[in-house]
Amino acid sequence: MSKPLQQLQERLGKITDLERISRLLSWDQQTMMPPAGSDHRADHLATLRRAAHELLIADETGRLLDELRPLEESLEPDSDDAALIRLTRREYEKAVRVPTDLRAEMAHASAQARPAWVKAKAESNFAIFLPALERNFELRQRYVACFEEVEEPYDILLDDFEPYTTTAEVREIFAEVKAGLVPLIGELRDVELNDSFLHGDFPVERQRRVTNDVVELFGFRPGTWRLDPTEHPFASGTGVDDVRITTHYDPETINSLFSTMHEYGHGLYSHQLPRELERLPTGNACSLGIHESQSRLWENLVGRSPRFWSFFYPRLQETFPEQLGAVEIEQFVAGINVVKPSLIRIKADEVTYGMHIILRFELEQDLVNGRVELRDLPRVWNERMQDYLGVEVPDDAHGVLQDTHWASGLIGYFPTYLLGSVMSVQIWEQVVEDIPDLEDQVERGEFGGLRDWLREHVHAYGRKFSPQETLERATGSRIDAKPYLAYLRAKYGAGVAA
């Protein structure tokens, strides 16, 4: 190996380590940390962020990248080394514009905003959160200002979550999705389906057992994962052999099952990233949109399908006999697929989910562009929920305070959820084409074929290519709303699910 390439890899290895350590600290903060530890944690995350940033923007990194230019040009563009140099150059050129102090402040402010958000949500009082939110937005404005002026400042934020993707491209896809969703939601608005059996008494201890069973069934290598309760489900981990997923247990519903499947999809992606690229940026996930395509695929295409439940429903009935013993499988599958405009994004059905995202995508742009003031957020939020979904927001906890993202400084993140949902259907259709008996496998509770397909066609690329190139390698096409809309219409258009 060339000496500069080796030096670059060593440097990137340290940066990757520091980033993964930050992930562990965030996981810990959301699952294990005594609440009073927030201030320590803010210092620690800022120090890690600073150290990683300094390693990336060091003159030495620039010098190595310059030295590696001839090598890069001589390599096959698809090769691991060419992809590594290309990706590092892109990340270096972005990072070098951002002062280390700003990076550290962004990490520090986000870690401190979290407890303010937790308190504000618990008391359903937006005012408690507003100062921390203003700080996070102000820091993002300063971050945007580090870059050359662009027509859409939101592009800069979006690129950190969905690289090589512009606001205009997202707007175009979302317009098409919205045009499909609005009439579909209208058609379904008056359909009455009984899902009352999904609300009642679902003891948390039993939910814990059954969510663990689902993870075991979907499958990770032994000794590589854990599942913990948290307020707001997420997936994390420190590498392919240390995957940590979380879920939220509500004693009155079985939503934990679907959030577990969702986070399993994220976790499997992390778990099947290319081991040979561990400790390199190319060994990371491609983008949050691609990540979300994986979580949505397991949650919706597998986890809300009649085939899956024909395998797993007896186990669920055994676990909750009082609630589900007398509910037929057809009723149950219809119940978990009821479409009904509602308040909470993470509990939304597949059809209305997109509208929650489109609302946030538009609102974030309005905030970044100064068309909406942060202090007016609750009012604007509530008006748009009325416009887009026809629902009345009773309080901030069920409105603008429901998500943790802005508290964590994640602005520009939300659109990746809907991009992922759209791509999940394109990927699923390709899997079905490549594995003709896939649905029979699902019905037998066998997931090895699906896992292997995803590893080979999606996960193995890591972050070597752009999201759209990765999708094209997996499915032959770039992002396309049509299969997604066709899937929704086929599944729900008759007005009855399943």
Residues that bind a second copy (CB under 8 A): 13-14, 17-18, 20-21, 24-25, 28, 32-37, 39-41, 43-44, 47-48, 50-51, 221-226, 238-239, 241-244, 278-279
Q: Determine the 3-state secondary structure of 339 from DSSP.
A: coil
Q: How far is the CB of 244 from a second copy (least distance, A)?
A: 8
| Total count of residues recorded for the chain | 498
C-alpha torsion angle, residues 105, 109, 110, 115 (rounded to 10): 160
Q: Determine the 3-state secondary structure of 325 from DSSP.
A: coil
DSSP label at residue 298: I
In the set 72, 91, 105, 263, the catalytic residue is 263
| Phi and psi at residue 296, to the nearest 5° | -65, -35
- If the CB atoms of residues 49 and 384 are measured against a second copy, the closer one turns out to be 49
Q: How far is the CB of 110 from a second copy (least distance, A)?
A: 16
Question: How many C-beta atoms surround the C-beta of residue 433 within 10 A?
Answer: 11
C-beta separation of 27 from 236 below 8 A: yes
- If the CB atoms of residues 23 and 491 are measured against a second copy, the closer one turns out to be 23
C-beta separation of 244 from 237 below 8 A: yes
Rounded Cα gap, residues 215 and 227, in angstroms: 9
Edge-to-edge strands, sheet with 242-247: 225-229, 242-247, 235-239
Q: How far is the CB of 270 from a second copy (least distance, A)?
A: 11
Q: Determine the 3-state secondary structure of 247 from DSSP.
A: strand
- If the CB atoms of residues 40 and 371 are measured against a second copy, the closer one turns out to be 40
Distance of CA 331 to the CA centre of its chain: 30
Rounded Cα gap, residues 447 and 450, in angstroms: 5
- If the CB atoms of residues 17 and 67 are measured against a second copy, the closer one turns out to be 17
| Phi and psi at residue 97, to the nearest 5° | -80, -15
Q: How far is the CB of 304 from a second copy (least distance, A)?
A: 28
The DSSP secondary structure of 111-127, one letter per residue, reads: HHHHHHHHHHHHHT-HH
Q: How far is the CB of 189 from a second copy (least distance, A)?
A: 45
Q: How far is the CB of 100 from a second copy (least distance, A)?
A: 12
- If the CB atoms of residues 13 and 493 are measured against a second copy, the closer one turns out to be 13
Q: Determine the 3-state secondary structure of 228 from DSSP.
A: strand
Rounded Cα gap, residues 15 and 87, in angstroms: 14
In this structure, is the dihedral angle defined by the CA atoms of residues 313, 338, 405 and 33, taken in order, positive or negative? negative
Q: How far is the CB of 117 from a second copy (least distance, A)?
A: 17
- If the CB atoms of residues 100 and 477 are measured against a second copy, the closer one turns out to be 100
Q: List, in order, residues 6 or more apart from 428 with CB less than 8 Å away.
A: 297, 301
Q: How far is the CB of 242 from a second copy (least distance, A)?
A: 3
Q: Determine the 3-state secondary structure of 432 from DSSP.
A: helix
Amino acid at residue number 170: V
- If the CB atoms of residues 17 and 439 are measured against a second copy, the closer one turns out to be 17
Rounded Cα gap, residues 125 and 187, in angstroms: 35
Nearest CA to 121 among 422, 396, 495?
396
Rounded Cα gap, residues 85 and 91, in angstroms: 10
C-beta separation of 384 from 359 below 8 A: yes
162 labelled catalytic = no
- If the CB atoms of residues 220 and 413 are measured against a second copy, the closer one turns out to be 220
Rounded Cα gap, residues 153 and 369, in angstroms: 8
Longest dimension (CA), the chain: 70
Q: How far is the CB of 209 from a second copy (least distance, A)?
A: 16
- If the CB atoms of residues 219 and 445 are measured against a second copy, the closer one turns out to be 219
Among all residues, which ones are annotated catalytic? Answer: 263
